[in-house]
Amino acid sequence: MSEITGAEAEETAAESQVRLLAFLLILFSSIKIVACSLAYFSAVVAGGGVDEHGGQTFYWLPQVLFYTMLFAASRRLRRFDRTARTAVISLSFLSLVAMILYTMLDFMLGPASRDPAMAIAIKLRLLLTGGDVWDIVFPILAIDWLRKPEAERLFAR
């Protein structure tokens, strides 16, 4: 009797954890969609209403697309859709890899290669005060919570 109750309690805890994660990811991706869209719009307006060389479009629209896919997968995650779990884990890994790759390229080829100390200071400022820490926290949280055996069992049924 206690084993059944313990298993049910574990499953209920896992369900609530996944629902909380889905809520946090929906909130996070919604904020990022709005922020990236406004940044893109502002950049185009600052350029006279035209993105002449396509640099702003090439930088901002993939981010809007990425966070839109994360938003959609996070909504499906609330329904315990198996493909949503895979999508959220994959998008989380992609986000972390892209961030690491971008930082490495910045320090190897970009402006950070000319003044690494200043670049580290800027990166830390953005990370701690600019809100970029959430770009690391939420993907790690998603990967950690969704790869647990309890979560895997939820999505297997």
pLDDT, tens digit, 9 for 90 and up, residues 113-127: 999 999 999 999 988
Q: What are the structural domain ranges in the chain?
A: 2-156
The Cα 24–Cα 16 span in angstroms is 12
Sign of CA dihedral 23, 27, 33, 36: negative
pLDDT more than 70, % of the chain:
96
pLDDT more than 90, % of the chain:
67
Side chain identity at residue 19, one-letter code = R
Span 77-87, pLDDT tens digits: 999 999 999 99
Kindly calculate the radius of gyration of the chain based on its CA atoms and give it in whole angstroms. 19
Is it the case that residue 1 has pLDDT exceeding 50?
no
The Cα 71–Cα 30 span in angstroms is 7
What are the strands, taking DSSP E only, across the chain?
none
- Prediction pTM value: 0.87
